Amino acid sequence: MESLVFLAIIWASVFVASVLADKTRMTPVLFFLFMGAILVNTGLLPPEGDPFIRVFAELGIIIIMFALGFEESTSDFLKSIKRSWGIALFGALAPFFTAYGLADYFWGDVNISIMCGLAMTATAVSLTMVSLKSAGLNKTLAAKGIMTSAILDDIASLVFVAILVPIATGEAVLTFWGVAAIAGKAAAFFIIITIIGIWILPENSSEFFSSIPFIGRHGVKHLLSFGKGENTTLTVLLVAILAGLLAHEFGFHPAVGAYMAGLILKEEYFKFRHSPNVDHYQNTKKIIDNVAFSWIGPVFFVELGTRIIFDMSLFMTILPQAAILTGCLLVAQITSAALAAKYTGGFVWRESVMIGIGMLGRAELAFVVIDIAYVQNHIITTEVFYTLMVTAFALNVAVPVGIGLWKPYFLGEKGNFAAHNRPKTGRYKDRV
């Protein structure tokens, strides 16, 4: 029953956070994080966490990522890759070397520096996309650029975590074949997802798959329409979980798989012959969004906020390092991602700056790296642990705050961006 008490407390805090967000017209994500920190530091939630809440939070981030992918199309994602590779590359290298260099200056240990660099590299894509959705900007070109860049960034970060963590712990050495094996796993995962999306899910499959029993005669539409569409939500959530498990088997966060599952489920699959006048896609999307952004998804952000335990004496000791690291990462991340978006992705400046802000968040993978380095292998000290935690929390807070502050300039309501960055063809509103 204790776990249910914790869940009731978290849901109550989610309600309070939603009210505060509505009153202040700020994104609720910021208040979810704040509530988590308050609850754990006042003793209402245990600092060591609760297994049930951790699993519930994990489910929340999986559903959030699926919901975000469910709104996108595969073609848009693939097109966005061409514009986003530079953002992912330079937007990852800059924070890695910034964190590595500062950690080496502060603590003078190469293994600590490696882990700090890894922890501060991957972007918290879910935090950014939820913040953009709250601001009504999740359908913009900048949001697509952030989404694609962050996914590519996370994939690359996972590869480097797999390579560098064993080196930092002394369990392995850097070899060509080790790197090739990890890159092969990443490629295999996306090839499998591509095959499922292009040749297996469609009702009219290719000539090769048409010869396979059942798959050749049926597609995902038949599965979704079973029971007159009453099981559609259950079916798509099952697809999300299975894709998340597949991603986990390949060494990725399950949320990456869930996003890809949402990406390959097209709106046309929800047009059922027995009910042509019912919009099953929008009905399902409404349910998924409610689950993701109202009652399960927010648990992830509250639980994320509980990772900060305030010890005043220790906090004052690491405050200078955390402040310097946060400030330098803010400048390095926004500058590198914005310049890359402008000069390799062809985005206008208002979009480029928004992309830079959107790449600030540090969440899922950052805390995985911190857990590996501090809890599992004792590579970093308590002071380094708290420095990274405070820095990650500050960067996460900077995302919704930065998006909110930049939104008027992004929309052309302030400054000269409306005049200078308006597309030469098409309506301005079409671009944003």
Average pLDDT over residues 415-428: 47
Query: Which of the two residues, 28 and 294, has the higher pLDDT score?
Result: 294
DSSP 8-state code for residue 421: S
> pLDDT digit string (tens) for 98-143?
999 999 999 999 889 999 998 898 777 767 877 888 788 888 888 8
Residues 6+ apart with CB under 8 A from 129: 64, 68, 138, 143, 146, 147
> pLDDT digit string (tens) for 335-353?
999 999 999 988 999 999 9
- On the question of pLDDT at 329 being above 70, the answer is yes
When divided into structural domains, the chain yields a total of 1
Q: Are 104 and 113 in contact (CB under 8 A)?
A: yes
Q: What is the domain extent for residue 141?
A: 2-431
Distance between CA atoms of 200 and 192, rounded to whole angstroms? Answer: 10
Average pLDDT over residues 7-36: 86
Query: Which of the two residues, 76 and 29, has the higher pLDDT score?
Result: 29
Alpha helices in 344-381 (DSSP H): 349-358, 364-370
Distance between CA atoms of 201 and 290, rounded to whole angstroms? Answer: 26
Residues 6+ apart with CB under 8 A from 330: 360, 395, 398
Which CATH number does the domain housing residue 253 bear? 1.20.1530.20
Tell me what pLDDT residue 75 has: 65
- On the question of pLDDT at 210 being above 70, the answer is no
Q: Are 262 and 77 in contact (CB under 8 A)?
A: no
- pTM of the prediction? 0.70
The closest alpha carbon to 351, from 155, 92, 152, 80, belongs to 80
Tell me what pLDDT residue 93 has: 92
Q: Are 156 and 88 in contact (CB under 8 A)?
A: yes
Q: Which residue's entry shows tokens 């966005």?
A: 80
Distance between CA atoms of 357 and 1, rounded to whole angstroms? Answer: 41
- On the question of pLDDT at 97 being above 50, the answer is yes
Distance between CA atoms of 242 and 227, rounded to whole angstroms? Answer: 21
Structural Rg of the chain based on CA atoms:
22
Distance between CA atoms of 99 and 384, rounded to whole angstroms? Answer: 12
Quick one: tokens of 330?
């803010």
- On the question of pLDDT at 214 being above 70, the answer is no
Q: Are 301 and 33 in contact (CB under 8 A)?
A: yes
- On the question of pLDDT at 58 being above 70, the answer is yes
> pLDDT digit string (tens) for 154-205?
767 766 776 677 777 766 566 677 667 766 777 788 788 878 777 666 655 5
Tell me what pLDDT residue 423 has: 41
Quick one: tokens of 391?
């820095």
Give percent of the chain with pLDDT exceeding 90: 27
